[in-house]
Structure 1
Amino acid sequence: MSMFDLTGHVALVTGAGQNAGAGIALALAEQGAAVAVNDLRAERAEATCAEIQKAGGTAVAVPFDVTDLDAVRAGLARAGEALGGHIDILVNNAGIPADMGYGPFRDITPERWRGPVEINLFGAMNCVHAALPGMRQAGWGRIVQISSGAGRTGLAIGVALYGSGKGGVESFVRHISQEEAGAGITANTLALGLMQSAGGPGISDIAAGIPVGRLGRPEDVGAAVAFLASPESSWLTGQTIDLNGGSVTR
């Protein structure tokens, strides 16, 4: 058996209809996992699912809103039924609400505060709460949380709300790692640096300042998640790992 083989495992990747989420879903499928592809928009989930199937992998599209606990529970049930097993690899990648609440916090009205925190913290909590019973019963599970450098580094670029949600969920994952370690479940976070999907003015200049000389790619994230989801990562839990091309070191 090759290293990082995920044959026989069933993964759910939220927000997997594009960008890093799609890269994660493709990487897990390439390693042999059956993948439930989630996205808020069904057509995006189906597109990633079709790409996996075209490459010979097994996947099913399960669109739902991660901030709706009933929808999350129903989605996990559909995924398990379609893929022939409970979710034992959960990747919480969904993190971009319709309103990101960009701008200086002093200018953002309270009715806009909730969205970025809701999806990043409570969305992840919903998915973990729904997935844990099956993992605990099997005595094996992997929880991988996708976060951002904004969760631990203060930035004057108008992302205080987003950073708050990411900082909160990183703390949540650390606590889950301690509560569930005895059940054979690991929980870790990947804090991403600037990705290709960011776009916008000055991006090429920013990329040049990253020590490896480029922005992050979906396949970079997919490879890291494939390791964290694998049997070989069983002694790694409760950690936040920076994946950023060396732009921040700790």
Structure 2
Amino acid sequence: MFDLSGHAALVTGAGQNAGAGIARALAARGAAVAVNDLVAERAEAVAKEITAVGGTALAVPFDVTDRDAVREAVARARDGLGRSVDIMVHNAGIAADFGQGHFRTLEPSRWRAPIEINLFGAMNCVSAVVDDMCETGWGRIVQISSGAARTGSDQGLSLYGAGKSGVEGFMRHLSQELAPSGVTVNTLALGLQTNAAGAATEVFAQKIPTRRLGRPEDVGAAVVYLASPEASWLTGQILNLNGGSVTS
């Protein structure tokens, strides 16, 4: 069950935190993994970690907002892994300028980056892999989102939330278009993760029913299921992975 042997995955933003957990988990189930990160050294470190334990991985650093760079990297991944990408996990979502702050205090020059990386980044990556998926009749697209897409807060996350809300809408429609071709499209909305840990987040953690923050391993396990052959009848869904902090 959940055997991904013979499949190739591209995981964006996989040089650290949840993205690295996703890459490790997919590789552990047999997928060959193209490890992306904006910072080449981070992508290379995770790829080496995977290969050191017997997995197959290739570092493919690029900026998801650069369409040409995405397409070139996908071609490199196809050549390096020996097969086309049929599992695409768009995890990159934190721009260099996160755009955090109350909206009325933010200059318009800061509006674009969170939208570009989340929405246009996803579009660039989907565009680069979807034709191969449809032609082979099998594919998995997994979008990593956040509870900030659907729950408002006063923590200065309006731009981030807008980007995540936009990409969730894109994925809903994409799932309907691609379902007849054997390609599923699902979104995993994360709650507070360990990479955000600090004094304030530890206080928030105690309000989560499970009494802890999310870990990279939690995210990786959920993505393995969504990417698996066993999840062929699950598409167009947004699944909350948040320790029970928000129920649906």
| Deviation digits for residues 61-119 of structure 1 (CA, Å, limit 9, x no counterpart) | 00000000000000000001000010000000000111011110000011100000000
- Choose which of 147, 150, 155 in structure 2 pairs with 1:149: 147
Q: Distance in 2 between matches of 1:197 and 1:41?
A: 17
Q: Residue 212 of structure 2 corresponds to which residue in structure 1? A: 214
Q: Residue 186 of structure 2 corresponds to which residue in structure 1? A: 188
Residue 206 of structure 2 aligns to a residue in which SS? helix
Q: Residue 92 of structure 1 corresponds to which residue in structure 2? A: 90
Shift of 1:204: 1.7
Shift of 1:143: 0.1
Shift of 1:54: 1.1
Q: Residue 44 of structure 2 corresponds to which residue in structure 1? A: 46
| Deviation digits for residues 208-238 of structure 1 (CA, Å, limit 9, x no counterpart) | 1100110000000000000000000000000
- Choose which of 218, 233, 241 in structure 1 pairs with 2:239: 241
Q: Distance in 1 between matches of 2:205 and 2:199?
A: 12
Structure 1, unaligned runs of 5 or more? none
- Choose which of 195, 201, 204 in structure 2 pairs with 1:203: 201
User: Is 1:103 aligned to 2:111, yes or no?
Assistant: no
- Choose which of 3, 6, 15 in structure 2 pairs with 1:5: 3
Q: Residue 64 of structure 2 corresponds to which residue in structure 1? A: 66
- C-alpha RMSD of matched pairs (Å): 0.5
Q: Distance in 2 between matches of 1:219 and 1:199?
A: 16
Q: Distance in 2 between matches of 1:231 and 1:202?
A: 40
TM-score, normalising length: structure 1: 0.98
Q: Distance in 2 between matches of 1:13 and 1:202?
A: 29
Q: Distance in 2 between matches of 1:194 and 1:7?
A: 31
Residue 87 of structure 1 aligns to a residue in which SS? coil
Q: Which amino acid aligns with 1:215?
A: L
Q: Residue 136 of structure 1 corresponds to which residue in structure 2? A: 134
Structure 2, unaligned runs of 5 or more? none
Sequence identity, in percent? 68
Q: Which amino acid aligns with 1:186?
A: T
Shift of 1:205: 1.4
Q: Which amino acid aligns with 1:99?
A: D
- Choose which of 159, 162, 165 in structure 2 pairs with 1:164: 162
| Deviation digits for residues 174-195 of structure 1 (CA, Å, limit 9, x no counterpart) | 1000000000000000000000
Q: Residue 77 of structure 2 corresponds to which residue in structure 1? A: 79
Q: Distance in 2 between matches of 1:12 and 1:192?
A: 19
| Deviation digits for residues 17-67 of structure 1 (CA, Å, limit 9, x no counterpart) | 000000000000000000000000000000100110111100000000000
Q: Distance in 2 between matches of 1:43 and 1:78?
A: 17
- What stretches of structure 1 move > 4 A for 4+ residues in a row? none
Q: Which amino acid aligns with 2:120?
A: F
Residue 170 of structure 2 aligns to a residue in which SS? helix
Q: Which amino acid aligns with 2:42?
A: R
